[in-house]
Chains A and B, each alone.
Chain A
């Protein structure tokens, strides 16, 4: 186990609703990245937080937003859910934002109906 925990593990939402996913980073890690993994695809980078500030963003619309807290845990918020948002959402933590090993959680499976 990596020490990165995500909650909930599974979630079903209706189109148009809002969702919040949570991630507890590994002890001592100050950087959290979020990825979306569609079925049968590789993870796609959503954004990264370093010491509570957004430190990079992928090609995702503004309805995907995030937060990082003083204890370095993080939230991913998605507004106005669309059917295509159905995916496995992964968070990864690392000691620093540079190219150090990233430890992934087990993910949250979001289904939008």
Chain B
């Protein structure tokens, strides 16, 4: 059973555009929601994370929007650049189990120059 569902599977965006990746979860006990970026041949790297006590978190060009009632959260990449081309994973975890993450299936983002 997929605890975290992620869409779309792939995304192509023009340079300067906005990339939006969506995730949904079922377990209301989840209380930490990170996004990871993975380049080919590398391990995932933490991009940005949010806790359910806020509805939005912004770091530079990256923003997480969080909707607790809908059990959904999304990553927005503003002014997308070719260097942002990578696979993005959303994840979720519970404080009581520490950083034992449930990952989404990933979104392959391609930013066209």
Contacts and interface: CB of A to CB of B under 8 A. Distances in A.
Contacts of B43: 2, 4, 90, 92, 104-107
The prevalent SS among residues of A at the interface is loop
Residues of A in contact with B, size category = 20 to 34
Contacts of A106: 41-43
Interface in B26-75: 31-32, 36, 41-46, 49
A42 to B, nearest CB: 3
Interface of A: 2, 4, 31, 33, 35, 40-45, 48, 50, 55-56, 58, 90, 92, 94, 96-107
A104 B44 contact: yes
B98 interface: yes
B89 interface: yes
Task: Give the interface size class of chain B.
Answer: 20 to 34
A69 B98 CA distance: 20
Contacts of B89: 42-43
Nearest to B103: A42
Given A48-B100, A106-B41, A99 B93 contact: yes
A90 B100 CA distance: 13
Interface in B78-107: 89, 91, 93, 95, 97-106
27 contacts: A4-B43, A31-B99, A40-B106, A41-B105, A42-B91, A42-B103, A42-B104, A43-B103, A45-B100, A45-B101, A48-B98, A50-B98, A56-B97, A56-B100, A90-B43, A92-B43, A92-B99, A94-B99, A98-B95, A98-B98, A99-B95, A99-B99, A101-B46, A102-B46, A103-B46, A105-B43, A106-B42
